[in-house]
Chains A and B, each alone.
Chain A
């Protein structure tokens, strides 16, 4: 769980958006999305709740809460947002998605190293040769563990 996200102002932050303004906005957007989606669902009554009752009421409460959070931040200030770690996001999530795209089509033997090597570049300290060797070894280990020791039906080589 997270430790560093307490409210101390961060050195990296420039003149970015107030953190809690963003936080409020985030919830308001989600809330609006749920209200839009649940609009057509019957609410029912308290005696016999319909499917729309809870999504709608929770979304409304959460949206109002988000607005309060935003207002407090606008009035009394607070820490500002820090810049996102785009490199980490891109390579880690990219690696995961690459795995998803290739695992059925090409099998673990390709998807594994591909996801790991791509993912490795998320770190600034990446050493390409080391990353490739490690990826191949780990994939072999995973094939042994998941396919042979545990018998999970994960495709190893394409069409097998």
Chain B
């Protein structure tokens, strides 16, 4: 990964009007750690929030809104994955299983004890966080690639346990739940209200990701990502931070899982198996794990691509694969990196010394 100073230097060079090859290098540079000016950040956030809030009124239809809900709860799970991979550098290909832990905890509490959405939510999130931490224990001992295989094994194991769990987990057919317990005056059976519920959770996830990113905690995580031994030698408790970020990631996954459960009203083991997990990893890389809006962009691309291109499932999977290859080869930082670089190139070109180079906080 290019260091901060390196990419800032490239940006400065581009403002003086440079050759095409350097412009290409500019577009493919990974400059996640160079913040944009505060005004640009604020405007993006407000525009995005306004667009998302206005979405149900744009008259795009029932199907569009359903896909939007799917996209958003997926994105919430992705923010957890982006936190552990983008900030702390711990990749997992078993993340759907963590969402499944949350969803199944909530469903089992609801089936066995008759609890509603709001009561089960904290338990489900806590359960996902605890399991996330426990699966994370091997990261203290083994390297990244071993951990990836371990998470994949865990995911496969989870599906087997659910399938063999008898009536407690509903076996292969899964479990059903009722609708979200209505708040005074708000009935979540209405699709647009369900959308706002999921959207509120997304805003929470975004806010948490942003705050962690600018906090001392986030900086510590990035230090561990870049050089674990150096971080350890300056007195950072690496083990505690690694487990901590995996547990926070588990919280996001639990929230996403419960939202998924109450949107679908029915869950089965295959929703949380190896394929959904791989797709989560794919989405987070596609969008860009180190960018605030990266996971959301990744989820939007993967969920809406088949709709936009009007493809059948087989072709759309092939299209995902091709997109992924192109993104990794041309934009190793994800689509968000490309968008940010294009913005920097335009802003830098028109204002002389504007753009990303002066906004370093």
A and B assemble together: no
Residues of B within 8 A of A (CB): none
